[in-house]
Structure 1
């Protein structure tokens, strides 16, 4: 059976605006036990901000997380998929572009995210990545 991205994606994505400070974005990550948020401008996907982006692109450079915004440092060259795309198409995109997650869009508006963990759980439930991905977060 051909599975679609919609069948395995995570629907509950956390979003912040381009002008949200890094502190505000980091609080959202902490509150939701996640490592990334979508950055929106006028309801459209502008970029993706990860906890690593905050550390490497801002804090390590001495930039103030109270001043710098999500839009200032988020990744903007994104590879995206549609909810109707095939699961294996998404796998190939991840391989080709060496990315761990793909925003799922419906006409430029985010409707979910597909991660390596989502795919591991669906395609190889007994793999180490699937087991780790399915486990509750360490707090």
Structure 2
């Protein structure tokens, strides 16, 4: 049974520099079949951008696909290390009301852990685990 974030995280997550256009982040989401991309500033984790962020902060505001990621992302994001216990990351997600947490070592993203990853590990019979484990729509 998994005990740490390293046991359940998605390793080598997609990242995008904050200065890049949101179209780059969206393309990465398609290529990685992911709903979020970790945002970096000179290689260091500085935020996270989700498909919903792009919809609400760019498309709904009638901004273009060349809008810098920094204008769409959530900054001051909570992070954990790979050796963080699953109980700790669950508590962090609850208290911060987030669904994804970047996994960081020395400021660099090494993974991402999602509520779906935790559902698969902790409650494999749940609807969320079934949905999270299913192949993505293309």
**How high is the TM-score relative to the length of structure 2?**
0.95
Gapped runs of 5+ residues in structure 2? none
Partners of 2:28 and 2:51 lie apart in 1 by 11
CA contact (8 A) 2:46 2:75 kept: yes
- Partner-residue secondary structure (3-state), 2:56: helix
Aligned to 1:117: 116
Shift of 1:109: 1.0
User: How many residues get paired?
Assistant: 138
Partners of 1:73 and 1:134 lie apart in 2 by 28
Superposed counterparts of 1:1-139, under 5 Å: 3-66=3-66, 68-139=67-138
CA contact (8 A) 1:124 1:130 kept: yes
Name the CA shift for 1:40/1:31 in 2 (closer, same or farther; >3 Å): same
**How high is the TM-score relative to the length of structure 1?**
0.94
Which stretches of structure 1, 4 residues or longer, exceed 3 Å deviation after superposition?
A: none
Gapped runs of 5+ residues in structure 1? none
Partners of 2:137 and 2:58 lie apart in 1 by 25
RMSD (Å) for aligned C-alpha atoms? 1.2
